[in-house]
Structure 1
Amino acid sequence: MPNGPADLPPSELKSVLRKQRLAARAALTLDERRAKADAMTRHGVMAIAVETGSLVSGFFPIRSEADIRPLMADLADRGARLCLPVVLDKETIEFRTYAPGVPLVETGFGTMGPGENAAVVDPDIMLVPLAAFDREGHRIGYGGGYYDRAIEKLQQKGRKPKLFGIAFDVQEVAKVPFEPHDVRLDGVLTESGFRSFG
């Protein structure tokens, strides 16, 4: 499992690991990503329990991310309500209700999401895209801090959503430099299965 130079400050080491693991993810062929995403869906269907009416935030894939739309559809079939993140500005995302088949609009950074008429909600479970993770449940995001700020805002409201990272096995590293503001994942879903950190 790769890691960068250990003597770098945490933020710089995160940047090195982010680039390495995103490059490894991008090196997967489209067929490989599809097969691995199918395996993720099978594992996620068995591992992620939802209560009727619980709100699950997912995402539509951009670049080389795993396509978790089949998993989201399964969660909806089991009674979950879905929402998607929408970029509001350079610092903020909000979560808007989504139902399969509802038309989406461009929401920044190549993402698609529900339009302004969709209700803004607070998710109970968050399926979180990421650049890298380790076996302790620490993660490296894409560097914008959107999810970190969204999670902090939810916590300030007294909410504590379950955080499940979504990644391919090639995105695992030996150790993520953990800083005080970082929030640990409750679990991670890869093509090899679901790992709980609780």
Structure 2
Amino acid sequence: MTDLSAQPRSEAALRKAALRDAALARRDALEIDDRLEWDPDIARQVLELPVWGQGGPVSAYWPMRSEADPRPILEELNRRALLLCLPAIVGGRMIFRQWAPYEPIVPGGFGTLVPPPQQPEVQPRILLVPLAAFDRRGYRIGYGKGYYDRALSDLGQTVSIGIGYAAQEIGTVPEEPHDKRLDWIVTERETIRCG
């Protein structure tokens, strides 16, 4: 698959790039003490969603920069005996490798940490997705490579849950044909049902 960022940029993509830069700057400017206080609120709300009865596998991400931290969610889901996985970019596409809290992780490119290559690949049914920005319809802006949109399309029937901070909300995310809408968005302030 080709990298979406390598293709000619549409007007929506150019608007997204400007919105991404502003949203990441807002998120990076949040006080770390506030984020450390908000992350447990996000985790509590995510764990209260009516989606966990269908079981796993559940994918999350290893937080980087100022992203909301899903690790407390993963620890609780691990206690509930749900199979967990983390994404890795292999051959230009996102795959998901089995992982559990305190198991090894290795550098995976783009500043991420991922399960080692010998971990089995799994197909998640529920995905916790990081956000640069989002709107209330469930559209998100990520880092601009399109990996999550392609993964959500390839996986088919899944539940997607964006997690981030209220400061990342914008009025409207410019839509592109490949964009996939999230089912839920959870911030420290609220849970938004999108789908």
Hey, what's the Cα distance between the residues in 2 that align with 1:133 and 1:30?
21
Listed as ranges, the matches of 1:32-181 within 5 Å are: 32-47=34-49, 49-51=51-53, 53-89=55-91, 91-155=92-156, 160-181=157-178
Query: What is the DSSP-based 3-state SS (H/G/I as helix, E as strand, rest coil) of the residue aligned with 1:47?
Result: coil
Whether 1:182 and 2:184 are equivalent positions in the alignment is no
Q: CA deviation at 1:170?
A: 0.6
Q: Which digits, 9 at most, give the CA deviation of each residue in 1:59-96, with x for residues without a partner?
A: 1110111111001111222232100001224x322100
Hey, what's the Cα distance between the residues in 1 that align with 2:56 and 2:126?
8
Structure 1 contact 97–120 (Cα < 8 Å) conserved: yes
Size of the aligned set, in residue pairs, is: 186
- Give the unaligned 5+ runs of structure 2: 1-9
Hey, what's the Cα distance between the residues in 2 that align with 1:183 and 1:39?
26
Structure 1 contact 50–78 (Cα < 8 Å) conserved: no
Query: What is the DSSP-based 3-state SS (H/G/I as helix, E as strand, rest coil) of the residue aligned with 2:129?
Result: strand
Q: CA deviation at 1:48?
A: 5.1
Counterpart code for 2:31: T
Q: Which digits, 9 at most, give the CA deviation of each residue in 1:145-174, with x for residues without a partner?
A: 11112222223xxxx111111111011001
Q: CA deviation at 1:193?
A: 2.4
User: Who is 1:17 aligned against?
Assistant: 19
Q: Which of 28, 31, 38 is the equivalent residue of 2:33?
A: 31
Query: What is the DSSP-based 3-state SS (H/G/I as helix, E as strand, rest coil) of the residue aligned with 1:37?
Result: helix
Hey, what's the Cα distance between the residues in 2 that align with 1:48 and 1:127?
14
User: Who is 1:5 aligned against?
Assistant: none
Structure 2 contact 160–184 (Cα < 8 Å) conserved: yes
Counterpart code for 2:80: R
Q: Which digits, 9 at most, give the CA deviation of each residue in 1:113-165, with x for residues without a partner?
A: 1111111011000101121110111111110111112222223xxxx111111
Judged with a 3 Å threshold, the aligned counterparts in structure 2 of structure 1 residues 53 and 42 are, in CA distance, closer, same or farther, namely closer
Hey, what's the Cα distance between the residues in 2 that align with 1:79 and 1:30?
31
Hey, what's the Cα distance between the residues in 2 that align with 1:27 and 1:37?
16
TM-score when normalising by structure 2: 0.90
Judged with a 3 Å threshold, the aligned counterparts in structure 2 of structure 1 residues 52 and 77 are, in CA distance, closer, same or farther, namely farther
Hey, what's the Cα distance between the residues in 2 that align with 1:99 and 1:179?
34
Judged with a 3 Å threshold, the aligned counterparts in structure 2 of structure 1 residues 79 and 50 are, in CA distance, closer, same or farther, namely farther
Hey, what's the Cα distance between the residues in 1 that align with 2:54 and 2:62?
22
Percent of aligned positions that are identical: 43
User: Who is 1:3 aligned against?
Assistant: none
Q: CA deviation at 1:20?
A: 0.7
Query: What is the DSSP-based 3-state SS (H/G/I as helix, E as strand, rest coil) of the residue aligned with 1:51?
Result: helix
Hey, what's the Cα distance between the residues in 1 that align with 2:170 and 2:125?
27
Query: What is the DSSP-based 3-state SS (H/G/I as helix, E as strand, rest coil) of the residue aligned with 1:62?
Result: coil
Judged with a 3 Å threshold, the aligned counterparts in structure 2 of structure 1 residues 79 and 52 are, in CA distance, closer, same or farther, namely farther
Structure 1 contact 39–191 (Cα < 8 Å) conserved: yes
